[in-house]
């Protein structure tokens, strides 16, 4: 598994999202943010997330989708229940996944982070295939960028966001990563 100079992962299917822009000049990518998402909520395997990240969601396809109308969001990666990985934004660019957020006093976490969405919800465990892919991607990203902290969306937007939620196994994830020269924090919330 490799990431090229533009920040594209060779094993990912690339589906371009229009929801991105430049990172501020001189930004080091130092944070990895783990999320969960499913659309419709708690339903897996459909195209809702792909449609959301490409501004193609049909607000009439599901009652919940009306609340998503006009939303311009994206993440760098989306890992399906079967471990398939899709990339929407090259890592060198800023994806729009964190929203209003701060980590250790630094606001606008989108500026300096990479966002990984796991297909899932706060109430269901994630699959072994998802952990395997997440761990492989994390190792790849940590070897390519000076990632210092790995956190959940809830850690950078407390009170506003809860993902990846209580069913995400931080211990399992952390223990599989081993020692990394840059990594200072991995959330255990």
Residues within the interface to Zn ion (CB under 5 A): 35, 153, 163
CB of 159 vs Zn ion, minimal distance in Å: 14
Is 117 labeled as catalytic in the residue annotation?
yes
Q: Choosing from 51, 117, 119, 181, which is the catalytic residue?
A: 117
Provide the pairing of β-strand 106-107 with 102-103.
antiparallel
CB of 25 vs Zn ion, minimal distance in Å: 26
Q: Please list, in sequence order, all residues whose beta carbon lies within 8 angstroms of the beta carbon of residue 83, skipping any fewer than 6 positions away.
A: 127, 129, 130, 132, 133
Provide the pairing of β-strand 31-37 with 113-119.
parallel
- How many DSSP H helices and E strands does the chain contain? 4, 11
Q: Is residue 115 a contact partner of residue 75, using CB atoms and an 8 Å limit?
A: yes
Beta strands in the chain (DSSP E): 13-14, 20-22, 31-37, 77-79, 85-87, 93-95, 102-103, 106-107, 113-119, 149-152, 185-186
DSSP state of 122: T
Nearer to Zn ion, 155 or 163 (CB): 163
Q: Which residues are catalytic?
A: 117
């Amino acid at each position: 598994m490799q990431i090229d100079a533009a920040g594209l992962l060779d094993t990912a299917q690339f589906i371009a999202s229009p929801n991105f822009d430049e990172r501020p000049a001189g930004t080091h990518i130092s944070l990895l943010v783990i999320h969960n998402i499913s659309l419709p909520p708690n339903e897996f395997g459909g195209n809702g997330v792909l449609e959301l990240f490409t501004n193609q969601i049909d607000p009439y396809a599901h009652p919940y989708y009306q609340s998503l109308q006009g939303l311009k969001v994206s993440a760098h990666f989306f890992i399906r229940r079967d471990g398939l990985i899709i990339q929407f934004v090259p890592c060198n660019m800023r994806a729009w996944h964190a929203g209003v957020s701060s980590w250790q006093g630094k606001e606008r976490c989108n500026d300096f982070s990479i966002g990984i969405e796991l297909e899932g919800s706060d109430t269901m465990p994630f699959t072994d295939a998802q952990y395997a892919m997440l761990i492989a991607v994390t190792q790849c990203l940590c070897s390519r960028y000076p990632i210092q902290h790995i956190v959940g969306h809830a850690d950078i937007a407390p009170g506003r966001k809860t993902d990846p939620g209580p069913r995400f196994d931080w211990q399992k994830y952390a223990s599989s990563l081993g020692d990394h020269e840059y990594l200072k924090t991995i959330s255990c919330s």
